[in-house]
Amino acid sequence: MKRLMALLFVVLPVLAVPADDVEATLKKARDLERRAGVLLDRGQRAQAFELLAQAAQLRDEARTAAKKSRKEAPAKAKDAKEGFRPKGFRNLRPKASARRAATTSLKKMDAALISNDLKKSRQHAEEARKALGRWAKELAAREKRLMVGSAPKTPLLRRVEALEKQLAELQRMIRNQR
């Protein structure tokens, strides 16, 4: 009981966070979740669940505060210095690696085929085809960068052949040592 009271005295000031500081609220929610993990490791499930509930409440408060701040923010003009983007500039999230996208879409296609859903399997096959094409372009660009970075005087294949010859000589020398 004493631990619970001490815990409440520590947690109650945390809950009285102003809604203006969203990042601080989220940081405190993460801290509460970390503490809850420690309590779960100790076997104190009831206190841990209380902390998790308080952390969820803090996250909800942060979300509502963020939504309010977005609504209250004045709309900026399109061609203001901060919001101006040159033609053709797209502010998109960077795409995941093409290899990962291809493997996930192929896995989804397999799952769709197993469940006998041909429409989804075709859709995932199309995604996989696009991702594999993107991956091929990435690999070609990477190979081009590597070739440009290598010694320009000797072509790459000649250098590889020379290294293979050296390797064969080293293997012969190792066999002859026995």
The 10s digit of each residue's pLDDT in 98-155 is 889 889 999 999 999 999 998 999 999 999 999 999 999 998 888 888 777 665 556 7
Length of the chain: 178
Question: Dmax of the chain from CA atoms?
Answer: 82
Please report whether residue 27 resides in a domain: yes
The range of the structural domain enclosing residue 133 comes to 98-168
In a domain, 15, yes or no: yes
> Are 67 and 103 within one domain?
no
Answer whether residue 159 is part of any domain: yes
Residue in 6, 17, 2 with CA at minimum distance from that of residue 54:
17
Tell me what pLDDT residue 104 has.
92
Q: If you average pLDDT over every residue of the chain, what do you get?
A: 77
For 163, the 3-state DSSP assignment is helix
What's the confidence (pLDDT) of residue 108? 93
* Domain presence at residue 92: no
Please report, for residues 39, 45, 130, 144, the alpha-carbon distance to residue 32 in angstroms, rounded to integers and kept in the order given: 10, 14, 43, 50
Neighbouring residues of 37: CB distance < 8 A, sequence distance ≥ 6: 48
Q: What is the pTM of this model?
A: 0.34
Over the stretch 70-107, which tens digit does the pLDDT of each residue have?
Answer: 666 554 444 444 555 556 656 555 567 888 988 999 99
Q: What is the mean pLDDT of residues 149-164?
A: 74
Q: Is 41 a domain residue?
A: yes
Q: Mark whether 58 and 104 lie in a shared domain.
A: no
User: How many separate domains does the chain show?
Assistant: 2
**Residue 10 placed within a domain:** yes
Domain end position, chosen among 25, 56, 71: 71
Strands (E), 55-134: none
Contacts of 48 (CB under 8 A, 6+ apart): 36, 37, 39, 40
